[in-house]
Amino acid sequence: MSTTEFHRILVGVDDSADALLAFDYAIAFAKENQAELVITSILERDDMNVYQTMDKDFFHGEYAELEQHVLKYQQQAEQAGVAHVRAIVAEGEPGETIIEKVIPQVKPDVLIVGSLAKKGVRKYFGSQAAYMAKYAPIPVFVIR
């Protein structure tokens, strides 16, 4: 029986309660494995109206603001004792962007994401976490 070693851990954050739980888990997991922690957040254009997406100044401002916000996560992980931490911001649909752009760039051993427990009709449409668990070329830990 072989054991899997984790040298680089990718965690997705978006300020939701489940993502914060995933982030805390990723910190502990990175420390336990003495692994590099890569924190990513995705700027979603779907959250903007058509005028905002066309306004380059607005978009660049939102992107810069997200970069600064993710750096706070990086500082938090460093203060918690993770030796090697970096942050990456990308834009697009979160699941697709993490699978198609971030994972190939970062080359992590595992992806850690949170999963909101949806109620009502929304639970039948799936989630970003379900998409990533299905299509990621690496193991995915879904934290709830």
* pLDDT at residue 51, as a whole number: 42
What's the pLDDT tens digit per position in 72-126? 999 999 999 999 999 999 988 899 999 999 999 999 999 999 986 544 444 444 5
Q: What is the pTM assigned to this prediction? A: 0.84
What's the pLDDT tens digit per position in 29-67? 999 999 999 999 998 765 544 444 444 444 455 778 888
- Domain of 73, in residue numbers: 8-143
Closest alpha carbon to 43 in 70, 18, 23: 70
Residue 77 lies in a domain: yes
Q: What total of structural domains would you count in the chain?
A: 1
What's 133's domain CATH number? 3.40.50.620
Backbone angles phi, psi at 41, to 5 degrees: -140, 145
CA–CA distance, 108 with 104 (Å, rounded to integer): 8
Residue 13 lies in a domain: yes
Contact (Cβ atoms closer than 8 angstroms) between residue 17 and residue 44:
no
CA–CA distance, 41 with 88 (Å, rounded to integer): 7
Residue 3 lies in a domain: no
CA 124, 66, 102, 83 torsion: positive or negative? negative
